[in-house]
Structure 1
């Protein structure tokens, strides 16, 4: 199994899940500018849009969407409860979270990470919308250790990879989008809880993000 990744990108999410599940996988770094892999391949031949994460299974099967990848990895080790049982209402709640994070948070960052291309849209429309989503997330985390309650799931890994793109006094940001988390006390507590998980620290160290 291979995980194609770019440091600090959303591929950090399945990287964390691999560590949580103690699943052996080869990490293959992709250059974001040239879209060449570290072993010299043209990454767009594997992922036509050049996006990470990409999971390549031992039989050559390719999986290209982060929310699907992390659920697949979780289901390889069901005893760890990284995702609730298939068919349960809790599994659908997890999928709600993954869909929200993908459409409202992940995509919400894009105009801010590429502000010069987005122009006025990024500051006048995308920024307040994303700030409102994070304020709602902060409220949702009140009284919870993790997004689904007391138990870490793959949704937390996904959110962690996205929070890295913003700014706060308790966060060493990677991309520095103009989104500030100061004052979001529940998000801060969740982040600091995540930050000390061995699987998270292992992924950060491997990607040179410590």
Structure 2
């Protein structure tokens, strides 16, 4: 099979890079930002058709970068190097958003916390539960994945959560999980589990500050919704 034409010969890659550096990301369409990332994985060949296929499949730059690995692998032209290029960008965004949270009280950094949780979890294909363990000043002690389940259920064991809190010397908790359906509305199982965890935490002098559900369609705070 003939090698795809090197689109650098036409200057396309150089022009796109120059426009990004001089005018910023705002001057580029979503598929052009994906092109820039794919350049790193595919030094030769025209990646514009692949970038446009990604947008057509997932709808936006953010959704494409946050898409599950198996979904990306199903796109024609997406090999391992291209998948790694996109997932590296997601990992970088998660770390950039998460780093400032480590040195300040989370309850006074709520919008940053929500941004971090959405980037880290909203695009996952299955449910995942994370627990943020906090000290007496509500600073982050640990951010740990507590469980991973199916597309609509993740088991969470209150006894294990509070046991881990005691091991870490934590004083408070924030639970976060995602809804792959895109709808952040709590289920009855979510509500029941949260009440069980709040009771187990209170019995040992721990505070459950909130339970957040993040999804592509938004988020729900149990505290704000009166469910906690």
Q: Specify the TM-score bucket, using the shorter chain as the normaliser.
A: under 0.3
Q: TM-score, normalised by structure 1?
A: 0.27
Q: TM-score, normalised by structure 2?
A: 0.26
Larger proportion of strand = 2
Higher RCO structure, 1 or 2 (CA under 8 Å, sep 6+): 1
Larger radius of gyration: 2
